[in-house]
Structure 1
Amino acid sequence: MVRGRISSIQVRIARPLRSLDRVQCRAHSSLAERLQHELTTRKLPLMYDYLYPQPSHMLNLTLCDLLPQSPDGRDVQTRLPSVTTPSPLPIAHHLIYFPPQVTLSQLLPDGTDVLHTPGSPFNRRLWAGGNLRFPAGAPLLDGSRAVCIESMRNVTVKGREGEEKVIVTIERRIGAVPEGEPEAQTWNRIWTDNDADAGQSSVIENRDLIFMRCKTAEQIQMDRGHFSKPGRNVKAPSDATFRHSILPTKSLLFRFSALTFNAHLIHLDQDYTQNQEGYKNLLVHGPLTLTLLLSVLQHNLNSKGLRVDRFDYKNLAPLFVEEELTVCGKPKNHGSAWDVWIEGPDGGLAVRGTAKTCK
């Protein structure tokens, strides 16, 4: 063969490869378009709740031994607060209100619900990250009626054919609702097609869920062979101005699952987690790490007279039960924003976030 010239054999090989690439591209595009239409047009039920202090109080009791406390110990209150002198909803505590309102028959084999799933073969789910906004400040825990409106804003398919991952972005809007208000009127007050418009929401949350195929027996066997080996680390930022370490226990994971009405087996069943998902131990919930991150951050902001106005975060590596995690942070932009993150037991970066603050 003469250097610099393309042989007829190379041409005959290249043509079917290009054709295969086009077929795979069309299949990938078709899947993405189908799921985008199916999920973003899926009508999800409105979730109502009453903002009584009991769930928030139980979460405080669950976390009080793990979070930093004020020197005078006032942060620990074992008596249920009264609705006659209501306190504001603590940051991230909205996560334990408005649980998924599904029956047992609407749970999948892994304990997750059917509300947001793209369907088979994407039967595994992980919490990838998201963002939070608090446009109206925290609502009061006075027992008033409230609603959470959910919709799937966007669907993205990544990966080559046969190995795709489906990323579903869910938007949740929480707002007060009068007794007897028609659902259509509630929807029009709180939900807007423009996601930048807060409407009459007090909390706006976007969460990204990743749906994947079940692992093969060979993949599980390969994962199990790495259980005792250190994973790859992403280097964490340096120069943290605060650091706080927490040891998540099985009791913590169970309580948080109960408070959030979450039956996902990766937080509850070690045998399932190891032999079906290929993880070495129970995983700490994505919303639990978010709660820990924001709670420690807000503790450090209190002395500065600041609160979180917006928070963006991404989960980069799994965190496991009985392995110490460390919540860290440092200010930037003269304190109007903060970089916050969670380090795993080996110091690697597990969760990364950015908070914008206000008075």
Structure 2
Amino acid sequence: MHEAVGRTQTLRDAMDPVRAAALHAALALDGPPPGERSVLLPFFHQVYFWEARPPAELGRDGHPAVGGFIPDLGLPRRMWAGGHLTFYGTLRAGIPAEKTTTVEAVTRKQGRTGPLAFVTLRHDIVQAGVLRVSERQDLVYREDPRPDAPRPAPPIAPADAEDEIAAVFSPTLLFRYSALTFNGHRIHYDRDYAMDVEGYGGLVVHGPLLAQLLMLRATARGPLRQFGFRAYSALLDHETATICRSGNRLWIRGPDGRLCMSADVEHGEDRF
């Protein structure tokens, strides 16, 4: 077992409704924006619990440098590979909350394109003394791309969607989402870095932004109890995506038919 497993840290936030209202506007959602004590939509907690670090404590990619809470595994590229959320209750804007993060697992493996390292974090969010959300976050770290290395073909998205909605992602949206979530990862706003250093074909759409859109789509059919998602291939800012649903399965399809993200949902009842 890696020595980092079991580490914890706790962040507190006043849950300012202005942040939720700003995300509501950035996503062009219908209806009035959240206000004081408004129920927050699922995954809106991403705009809270900032971990603000000075520039000297950041890595080359703009994230907080590894080697502290998250161990340095010798692999420079970080991606949010997926996650799972359990909703025990709703969060409300304007009521202070705290998030306790625990390192649950650290593993290594050999992938098709080189060594990989996986870090699993668990985030427990408590508000008014009650556990409201428990989230597992799966991070993957990998080597810089080699120009001569073959790129594995991504899986093809399912073809049995019951309904579909097109989605576009402008650089402005990516910047605003990065700012609201205090995500300094340069692949989302620094085109030269994304292409020249990390080998992408443009700016990368945030994995949690795609998960947010899938959750909003799922919420239209009722309150969420469980939501799990997995990323398969990067979606770029110049690509039009399709949000697909079939029953309790949802996915993001790229313009070439590839699978970018999949999700499964379990609906429940509002408890708070």
Instruction: Calculate the TM-score normalised by the size of structure 1.
Output: 0.69
1:346 is aligned to: 256
Mark the runs of 5 or more structure 2 residues left unpaired by the alignment.
Answer: none
Q: Residue type matched to 1:310 in 2?
A: Q
1:308 is aligned to: 224
User: Against the structure 1 CA distance between its residues 81 and 317, is the aligned structure 2 distance closer, same or farther, given a 3 Å change threshold?
Assistant: closer
2:91 is aligned to: 139
Secondary structure of 1:271's match?
helix
Distance 1:264 1:42 in 2: 23
- 2:133 maps to which of 188, 203, 216: 203
User: Against the structure 1 CA distance between its residues 234 and 61, is the aligned structure 2 distance closer, same or farther, given a 3 Å change threshold?
Assistant: same
Distance 2:23 2:214 in 1: 15
Structure possessing the higher radius of gyration over alpha carbons: 1
Distance 2:64 2:194 in 1: 17
Secondary structure of 2:266's match?
strand
2:194 is aligned to: 273
Q: Residue type matched to 1:168 in 2?
A: V
Q: Is the 8 A contact 1:118 1:211 kept in 2?
A: no
What is the count of residue pairs matched by the alignment? 266
Secondary structure of 1:326's match?
strand
Secondary structure of 2:131's match?
coil
How far apart are residue 233 of structure 1 and its match?
4.2
How far apart are residue 353 of structure 1 and its match?
0.9
2:99 is aligned to: 148
Higher helix proportion: 1
1:159 is aligned to: 110
Q: Is the 8 A contact 2:63 2:185 kept in 1?
A: yes
Higher strand proportion: 2
How far apart are residue 205 of structure 1 and its match?
0.6
Instruction: Calculate the TM-score normalised by the size of structure 2.
Output: 0.90
Determine if the alignment matches structure 1 residue 237 to structure 2 residue 201. no
Distance 1:95 1:62 in 2: 14
2:5 is aligned to: 40
2:177 is aligned to: 256
How far apart are residue 43 of structure 1 and its match?
4.0
1:355 is aligned to: 265
**How does 1:38-187 map onto structure 2 within 5 Å?**
39-44=4-9, 46-64=10-28, 75-77=30-32, 81-83=34-36, 86-114=37-65, 116-119=69-72, 121-135=74-88, 137-141=89-93, 143-159=94-110, 163-176=114-127
- 1:324 maps to which of 240, 245, 263: 240
C-alpha distance after superposition, 1:70-105 (max 9, x if no partner): xxxxx243xx6542xx32111110111112232222
Q: Residue type matched to 1:280 in 2?
A: G
Q: Is the 8 A contact 1:117 1:211 kept in 2?
A: no
Q: Residue type matched to 1:342 in 2?
A: I
How far apart are residue 232 of structure 1 and its match?
2.6
C-alpha distance after superposition, 1:16-40 (max 9, x if no partner): xxxxxxxxxxxxxxxxx4xx22x21
How far apart are residue 348 of structure 1 and its match?
1.5
Secondary structure of 1:153's match?
strand
Q: Residue type matched to 1:40 in 2?
A: V
Q: Which has the higher contact order (CA 8 A, sep 6+)?
A: 2
